[in-house]
Amino acid sequence: MQKCSLYFVVCFFLQTTWYVDAQSVTIFTLSDFELKEGVKSCLVSTSYGQEDYEFNKNGLLTQSVTRYNEKDYDIVYYKYANGNLLEKRAETYRDNVFDPSTSIAHFYTLDTTESKKVTEKVVSYEKELLEQYRYQYDDKDRLAVIVRSNAEGTDKTVIDHTTVKGEETVTWTMNGEPLKSVRTSKQKKADGTVQKVVLTKEFLKGEGNRAKEEVFGEEGKLRARQDFRFDTEKNSFVPTVRTTFEYNEQGLLMMETAKKGNQVEETKYLYQYDRPEEGNWIKKIITPENTYTTRKITYYPESEISVEKEE
């Protein structure tokens, strides 16, 4: 995860599953938090309070608590069945009192009688159906259609997958209007390694808005990103900021270099670990801002993880 993105999921928790970058039902795992196998809980100290994450023995997120102070906090619970998300409950507490008016529950059902379908119902704690989403998949288990229904009407998003000469393009259109397109290709470098290039274009009210081209190394790490904005006079996307990323031996972001014209900004990341080898980081220092984040991590006993794998 890049700068300030470790806690991107906090904002996501209290939203519905559907948005422009929707990939159907999202399940969070240890890797989304830069955590390795065997972690039971992770307590993160932030500038605004604390984040407390709990995981099951399979590494799936089961609970998150965003605590702003001793009396104000939000809790999100996750329930699974056979690795599929069954239920997500987002509860709000203010002055240590549960607030049902701002708390929401998401219920998921899976139907595989024909093609795979997932239905998500968003319900208030006052038992009012707020929204419903239906996710349909094609015969290759790729998300193909999202139908969103609420009191204001129905929106239909179609996700089209095409492959031409090894390049895959995925296009999102909502009610016939373009939302986003993602083109993925592979390039062979002079040293024989292969990198993945992903070009994403986003549209607003059917018109170009912004874009980015990302380059990933063979290990899957983001190595470079070129950002674009849409120039209405030129009627095309024009480059703005180019950012490169470097990683340490543990695979964590070590340096981020952003270039815009003649301006260059470098951000460095330093880590302290809880174990000499193959450990999780417990302190991250960001320079030149000289800010830091600390984490307190607890683990499942190794014997319990081994039993879970066997089962």
pLDDT tens digit sequence for 11-31: 333 333 333 344 467 899 999
Helix and strand tally (H, E) in the chain? Answer: 2, 20
Q: What share of the chain is helix, strand, coil (3-state, %, to 5)?
A: 5, 60, 30
Q: Per the domain annotation, does 3 fall within a domain?
A: no
The pTM score is: 0.84
Would you say 83 and 56 are in contact if contact means Cβ atoms under 8 Å apart? no
Q: What is the pLDDT along the chain (311 residues), one digit of tens a residue?
A: 333 333 333 333 333 333 334 446 789 999 999 999 999 999 999 777 899 999 999 999 999 999 999 999 999 999 999 889 999 999 999 999 999 999 999 999 999 888 899 999 999 999 999 999 999 999 999 999 999 999 999 999 999 999 998 899 999 999 999 999 999 999 988 888 899 999 999 999 989 999 999 999 999 999 999 999 999 999 999 999 999 999 999 999 999 999 999 999 999 999 999 987 778 999 999 999 999 999 999 999 986 765 555 44
Distance CA(291)–CA(285), nearest Å, equals 6
Q: Which domain holds residue 166?
A: 159-247
Q: Per the domain annotation, does 36 fall within a domain?
A: no
Q: Per the domain annotation, does 197 fall within a domain?
A: yes
Domain count along the chain: 1
Q: Per the domain annotation, does 221 fall within a domain?
A: yes
Q: Per the domain annotation, does 267 fall within a domain?
A: no
Q: Per the domain annotation, does 258 fall within a domain?
A: no
Q: Per the domain annotation, does 224 fall within a domain?
A: yes
Q: Per the domain annotation, does 48 fall within a domain?
A: no
